[in-house]
Amino acid sequence: MRRPPERRVVLADVARLAGTSEATASRALKNDPRIGETTRAAVRAAAAKLGYVPNAAARSLRAKRTHILGLLLDDLADPVHGKVAAGFEAAAASQGHAVFIMTGLHDPDREQRALTAFVEHRADGIALASCVIDPADVHARVPAERVVFVQPDYPRLADGREPPARGVLRSNDAGGFAMTVRHLVEQGYRRLAYVGPGSGSSDALRRAAASDALAGTPAARMRFLDSGVDGWRDPSDVAGALAEDPPDAVVCYDDKLALALLDRLRSTRLLVPDDLAIVGFDGIPAARESRPRLTTVDVPSVELGRRAAEMLMIAGRDGGRLPPSEILPVHLIVGESTPRRTAGERRQAPRVAVASRRGAGE
Amino acid sequence: MRRPPERRVVLADVARLAGTSEATASRALKNDPRIGETTRAAVRAAAAKLGYVPNAAARSLRAKRTHILGLLLDDLADPVHGKVAAGFEAAAASQGHAVFIMTGLHDPDREQRALTAFVEHRADGIALASCVIDPADVHARVPAERVVFVQPDYPRLADGREPPARGVLRSNDAGGFAMTVRHLVEQGYRRLAYVGPGSGSSDALRRAAASDALAGTPAARMRFLDSGVDGWRDPSDVAGALAEDPPDAVVCYDDKLALALLDRLRSTRLLVPDDLAIVGFDGIPAARESRPRLTTVDVPSVELGRRAAEMLMIAGRDGGRLPPSEILPVHLIVGESTPRRTAGERRQAPRVAVASRRGAGE
DNA sequence: TTGTATGCGTTATCAA
DNA sequence: TTGATAACGCATACAA
């Protein structure tokens, strides 16, 4: 087994072995067209023989470009964020860029530290996905041309400003929620409920979108339930509230919550979808395997990541500028959890014996 | 909104404003004990006022330490790998290390390129999780003291060598599979089947472990079915094969496959768990929400990632050495998919009408 | 087509 | 306790 070289071999070593100057060796290795064919071959041979690996730090220091992209996201263990990361990494790697990934975990201080790390390493571009940090705080530390926000709920709805023309990448979450609500209405559901964490700008956006979509249907009503931020871990309370006064259909903040709720509802007298239709959001794989299959909205997470990296790399080229902000389309996936429903179809008597609100089915 | 400084602020600027030399400024900023209190305060004030952010490339170049850790894994979109990444990142960040993440996607060339990137950036340590690259190839390019393999199937079983005393981090997958098989036997199952991709060293290890665990139970039998590498996307063929000649229980390569199979089996006359028990592996969240809840093995993925980063950071301290290799324990999680079974309990007549082998339930 | 010389921003060595 | 100076490894302006 060949060992890695003890003392790191540097360009000077390559140049010496090839019998050229450092400058020539440097040029030869990056295929500068004005280097002779024989010289180039000699340099390449020397580099290969010595196992030369250029030092990125030195290169960056001199060239003022690092070919490093930073990605700050909320949680790598979350499948949706993981897909964003996967798309980002794939796009970056395909163009020879390295990727720093840090997680914010919903903690503004952590996000600030991540930003510091990116700036220290002089990342050519930075993407922030689902971050809680204020965009203004980011722009105070990083030139706007080097940052992309991957954030459907950008900016906070509260301040009413339009998002900037560049540097924002969104999926059409509002449109997606409107689609699910319209779908429910078309399928015959009228008494709807929205269940979400109850806080966070993303929840606010989804809640508003769902609500707005009902504006044209006077007969329809929507009420709102809070699951809490960690509600998807144990939505017993929500399941209980639903069981006490069941709507016709539930619109969930995301698939994670919808699937947990679906599971929890098995402990109540409510049968999905017969008594209660349910829709999720995100299109995670588990939604395709649940029973009943979940009606949901497919969000192009990989694509969001990929596009973010591409935007940053375009802006990173010299003279390059950040492309215009984009909104990527989402797609309704109709599953089995929202069947067509005609008035009065609802079961009058539960098929399943009443179960305790907690614990059954454990 | 404060703008980021136009010309990057460098140490010399800070020193000038603070009225000291660069050397003093440098020392003051890193809390060198021999710098006077007043000087230090002046330097810190100047740095803060100018918004100084040290240049990591310059620092690394000089200090010969980057505080960068590289993580090469198979696929960020996969929840198991995502958890490894999350643990790795959290541990690294907690000690001020930045993390490069690259994905190999089962492609040896890609893995080589990732390795190159890590070496170019002079990562202080490199973790390889579930990679297909030959460890010898890695050690030829990177000193062994800087690499950790996170790989339960290290080394390839075929060559029979013991894994090295340092630099390998494993979960006890073999033990986990033995646990599931023993559990099945204890629950009364005798005719078992293993379903796995049919290739890859990880599959070989799990298959062998499952098989070995049956050695002490002469009455029990195990047969082996191949789902193909992408079998979890559509395990129709496996489901069909199982329906034709059903075993009592199926041991799946992982949860992803088990859940997909569980879903597919709904289109057959086989009822889980009445006709067929099923166990998975990994302990992904969806396994806790499936119907029936999946019996599986919880693998400490986050912990694996965390520990890998810690090992590398320990080895990275000067004079530091890589801690001994470790095997992290796994835990059996008994769900509803493997109920106790007494001989002859099996249903004689299918409750559900025969469905076509494909397509039903779409 | 190639070589020489300089500087990127920081830290470490030595001297004061 | 502080300052001057020399690297670190590479890329480029300029000269040849």
3-state SS string for chain A: CCCCCCCCCCHHHHHHHHCCCHHHHHHHHCCCCCCCHHHHHHHHHHHHHHCCCCCHHHHHHHHCCCCEEEEEECCCCCHHHHHHHHHHHHHHHHCCCEEEEEECCCCHHHHHHHHHHHHHCCCCEEEEECCCCCHHHHHCCCCHHHEEEECCCCCCHHHCCCCCCECEEEECHHHHHHHHHHHHHHCCCCEEEEEECCCCHHHHHHHHHHHHHCCCCCCCEEEEEECCCCHHHCCHHHHHHHHHCCCCEEEECCHHHHHHHHHHHCCCCCCCCCCCEEECCECCHHHHCCCCCCEEEECCHHHHHHHHHHHHHHHHCCCCCCCECEEECCEEECCCCCCCCCCCCCCCCCCCCCCCCCCCCC
- Are B280 and B258 in contact by the 8 Å Cβ rule? The answer is yes
**pLDDT for res B157:** 43
Which pLDDT value is given to residue B212? Answer: 93
CA of B219, closest CA in chain A: separation in Å?
Answer: 32
- Dmax (CA) for chain A in angstroms is 91
Quote the CA–CA distance of A277 and A294 in Å, as a whole number: 9
CB contact under 8 A, B58 and A61: yes
A147-150/A168-171 β-pairing? parallel
- Pairing verdict, β B168-171 and B125-129: unpaired
Residue B264 in contact with partner chain A when CB distance is under 8 A: no
From residue A165, alpha-carbon distances to A151, A154, A162, A286, B45 in Å are 14, 12, 9, 35, 36
Asked if A57 reaches chain B (Cβ–Cβ under 8 Å), the answer is yes
d(CA B272, CA B277): 6
Residue nearest to nucleotide C7 (CA to C1'): A62
Helix axes B301-316, B79-94, angle to 10 degrees: 40
In order along chain A (362 residues), what is the average pLDDT of each group of 10 residues? Answer: 75 94 94 90 95 96 96 95 97 97 95 97 96 92 95 66 85 95 96 94 92 91 94 93 95 96 92 95 93 96 98 93 95 97 55 37 32
Inter-chain contact A86–B76, Cβ cutoff 8 Å? Answer: yes
Phi, psi of B288 (to 5 degrees): -85, -10
Does any strand C atom come closer than 7 Å to the Cβ of A60?
A: no
B23 touches strand C (CB under 7 A): yes
Q: What's the pLDDT at A188?
A: 95
Q: At B80, list the tokens.
A: 């198991």
In the block, which residue shows the tokens 């990448």?
Answer: A169
CB atoms within 10 A of CB B42: 19
What are B263's two structure tokens?
A: 């879903």
Query: What is the structure's pLDDT at A343?
Result: 56
Neighbours of A63 (CB within 10 A): 11
DSSP symbol at B229: T
Residues 6+ apart with CB under 8 A from A259: A280, A286, A287, A290, A294, B286, B289
**What residue in B sits closest to A68 (Cα-Cα)?**
B100
Q: How far apart are CA A115 and CA A198, in angstroms?
A: 28
Look over chain A and give the mean of its residue pLDDT values, rounded to a whole number: 90
What is the DSSP code (8-state) at residue B87?
H
Closest chain B residue to A50 measured between Cα atoms? B141
Say whether residue B78 is in contact with chain A using an 8 A CB cutoff: yes
The whole-number pLDDT of residue B362 equals 30
What is the nearest CA distance from A51 to chain B, expressed in angstroms?
A: 8
Beta carbon of B259 within 7 Å of strand C?
no
Query: Are B83 and A77 within 8 A, CB to CB?
Result: yes
What are the chain A neighbours of B83 within 8 Å (beta carbons)?
Answer: 76-77
Interface of B with A in 325-344 (CB under 8 A): 336
Test B57 with A100 for CB contact under 8 angstroms: no
- Assess B110–A contact: CB distance below 8 Å, yes or no: yes
Cβ contact, residue pair A120, B54, below 8 Å? yes
Closest nt by CA–C1' to A21:
C3
- Please give the Cα distance from A71 to A79 (Å, whole number): 16
Which uninterrupted H or E stretch holds B341? none
Reading the block at residue A252, the tokens are 């969930």
C-alpha distances out from residue A274 to A237, A250, A263, A342, Å: 21, 13, 15, 11
A89, B77: Cβ pair inside 8 Å?
Answer: no
Put simply, whether B191 touches A (Cβ < 8 Å) is no
Structure tokens at B241: 């094969």
pTM of the model: 0.92
Min CA distance, B113 vs chain A (Å)?
9
Between CA A61 and C1' C9 the distance (Å) reads 8
> Residue B136 and residue A1: Cβ atoms within 8 Å?
yes
| The one-letter amino acid at B204 | A
pLDDT tens, position by position, for chain B (362 residues)? 566 666 889 999 999 999 999 999 999 999 888 898 999 999 999 999 999 999 999 999 999 999 999 999 999 999 999 999 999 999 999 999 999 999 999 999 999 999 999 999 999 999 999 999 999 999 999 999 999 999 988 765 445 567 788 999 999 999 999 999 999 999 999 999 999 999 988 999 999 999 999 988 899 999 999 999 999 999 999 999 999 999 999 999 999 999 999 999 998 999 999 999 999 999 999 999 998 999 999 999 999 999 999 999 999 998 889 999 999 999 999 999 999 986 555 554 444 433 333 333 33
Q: Which nucleotides of strand C lie within 7 A of protein CB?
A: 1-5, 7-13
Tokens at B314, concatenated: 């320990």
Q: Please report where in the chains the tokens 């302990």 appear, as a residue.
A: B283
DSSP secondary structure letter of residue B322: P
A contacts of B234 (beta carbons < 8 Å) = none
User: For residue range A178-218, what is the model confidence (pLDDT) as tens digits?
Assistant: 999 999 999 999 999 999 999 988 999 999 999 999 998 89
Q: Would an 8 Å CB–CB cutoff place A98 in contact with chain B?
A: yes
Whole-number pLDDT of residue B42:
94
B117 touches chain A (CB under 8 A): yes
* Angstrom distance, A98 CA to D13 C1': 29
Dist. CA B184–CA B249, nearest whole Å: 8
The DSSP call for residue B96 is T
Contact between the CB of B63 and strand C at under 7 Å: yes
What is the distance between the alpha carbons of residues B106 and B133, in angstroms, rounded to a whole number?
9
Note which residues in 193-232 of chain A have CB less than 8 A from chain B.
none
Cα–Cα distance between A200 and A180 in angstroms, integer?
A: 21
C1’ C10 / CA B62, Å: 6
Residue B208 to residues B193, B198, B221, B327, Cα–Cα distance (Å): 13, 12, 14, 18
Per the structure block, which two tokens stand in for B14?
Answer: 């800070």
Three-state secondary structure call for residue B3: coil
State whether B262 and A289 contact (CB < 8 Å): yes
Distance separating alpha carbons of residues A313 and A150, to the nearest angstrom:
15
CB closer than 7 A to strand D: which residues?
A: A 8, 10-12, 22-23, 26-27, 29-30, 52, 54-55, 58-59, 61-63; B 19-24, 27, 34-36, 38-40, 58, 61-62, 64
Nucleotides on chain D that have an atom closer than 7 A to a protein CB are 1-13
**String of DSSP letters for B243-299:** HHS--SEEEESSHHHHHHHHHHHTTSS--TTTT-EEE-SB--GGGGTSSSPPBEEE-
Chain A residues within 8 A of B66 when measuring between CB atoms? 57
